Amino acid sequence: MKKNMKIIKWTARISALILLVFGLLFYFGYGNPLPFANPNYSLWENVALAMMPLIFIGLALGWKYEKTGGYLVVVPMAIGFLVGLATAANFSGNMIWPLIPGVLYLVSGYMNNSPTKKS
């Protein structure tokens, strides 16, 4: 069980690091990454620009605080997907990738604090 937890934890950390490196490049390469600053952006684009900083913070914070980092990734993603569905936005599949380390952070965080954990 301990070996599996290490695999989950390091899979989450490594995938979060890769997503941070490439995601930040694309985020700042978008031009003006401030949400609601450009009137030409759609509602979905503004929501995506608003949720991305929270996701980036969650990916980085998950290295030390797994539950908090996981929630900072999963909750904005869920809100973004709901807005995307409500506005019939054509969001791309690459927005799902941050969910992998986010969910793994949550699994690792809750498994480390489980009452049945043996020391």
pLDDT tens for residues 43-83?
Answer: 888 888 888 889 999 999 999 999 999 999 999 988 888 88
Does 85 fall in a domain?
yes
pLDDT at 29: 78
Does 46 fall in a domain?
yes
Contact call for residues 87 and 43 (beta carbons, < 8 A): yes
Does 119 fall in a domain?
no
Q: Which residue intervals of 62-98 are DSSP H helices?
A: 66-86
Q: What is the pTM of this model?
A: 0.82
Does 65 fall in a domain?
yes
Query: How many other CB atoms are there within 10 angstroms of residue 18's CB atom?
Result: 13
pLDDT at 114: 62
Domain that holds residue 12: 2-112
Does 52 fall in a domain?
yes
Q: What is the pLDDT confidence band of residue 104, given thresholds at 50, 70 and 90?
A: very high
Number of compact structural domains in the chain: 1
